[in-house]
Amino acid sequence: MQVRLQKFLAEAGVASRRASERLILNGLVEVNGKVVKELGTKVDAQHDAVKVEGRFVKSKRKLYVAINKPRGYLSTRSDELDRRIVTDLLPREWSHLHPVGRLDKDSEGLIFLTNDGDFTLHLTHPRYGVRKKYRAIVEGFVEPGVLRRIMAGVEHEGEMLRAERARLMDANNSHSIVELELAEGKNREVRRLFESQGLIVARLQRTQIGAIKLAELPEGRWRALTDAEVKSLMAVTTPADAPKPPNR
């Protein structure tokens, strides 16, 4: 959504709208690296970089971004060893956004970043039961019994793990492709589910969170979530531990 530049500056707390107009007219405001002196200029808080007197202006609006995380990136805002992190994939002015949940370094796929704590809580706390889908390439042939066991629940390193759904998509003697759906985000849960069965996940990709799919988003690229997408994610209120309907 685009708004007039002076309104954006006022809402960001830079100055009143009238004082912001003076800043623009005096050539003290840049948008995407270019000085702007026209009061009718409009900006998009989610996509445009705005500076006042050489300093970035961070919108107070809540931001929601989807990234197709490549392998080798950490799901964190900083790293003491200076390894690659997901915020490296974003414009510099959005480096304050934090990941919603995690994907381990060797996993890839859909992850959200935001500055909205309520959004993060809603998508990561088990009581809301927001489902996540994964595509796992597993070494060896995955027997049907393995899928039944990980859906029933297994204990691994003193913790109960369970997939809501698991189905074999393709298989040969060397590898199997399995699609899984989880309601919780326990640390390395998909990999640990297969480890409990003596199997190794060679590649893991998260393909969907709630109703939002990875779709055609290229690896390493990002896009802003729409208002409708954010509302759809926040509307999920079914607790993961709610009583399940009886089998019929």
- Domain 2-56 sits in CATH 3.40.50.1370: no
> What residue spans define the domains of the chain?
2-56, 64-126+213-234, 131-209
> What pLDDT does residue 11 have?
66
pLDDT digits (tens, 9 = 90+) for 21-49: 999 999 999 999 999 999 989 998 778 89
Distance, first Cα to last Cα, the chain: 48
pLDDT at 90 over 80: yes
Using CA atoms of 222, 224, 229, 231 in order, give the dihedral in degrees to the nearest 10: 130
**188 φψ region: left (φ > 0), alpha (ψ -120 to 50), beta (else):** left
pLDDT digits (tens, 9 = 90+) for 170-182: 999 899 999 999 9
Is 104 annotated as catalytic?
Answer: yes
Cβ(209)–Cβ(233) below 8 Å: yes
The pair phi, psi for residue 151, each rounded to 5°, is -80, -30
Per-residue confidence band for 242, with pLDDT thresholds at 50, 70 and 90: very low
Cβ(134)–Cβ(180) below 8 Å: yes
- Residue tagged active-site, from 104, 106, 170, 227: 104
131-209: what fold? Answer: Pseudouridine synthase (3.30.2350)
> What pLDDT does residue 2 have?
85
Pick the CATH number of 64-126+213-234 from 3.30.70.580, 3.10.450.50, 3.40.190.10, 3.30.420.40: 3.30.70.580
For residue 200 the two structure tokens come to 């190794």
> What pLDDT does residue 237 have?
64
Closest CA to 190 of 215, 170, 207: 207
Query: Quick check: helix, strand or coil at residue 6?
Result: helix
pLDDT digits (tens, 9 = 90+) for 190-240: 999 999 999 999 999 999 999 999 999 999 999 999 999 999 999 976 544
- The reply to whether the predicted model has a pTM over 0.95 is no
Task: Give the Cα separation of 125 and 132 in Å (integer).
Answer: 13
Question: What is the tally of helices (H) and strands (E) in the chain?
Answer: 6, 17
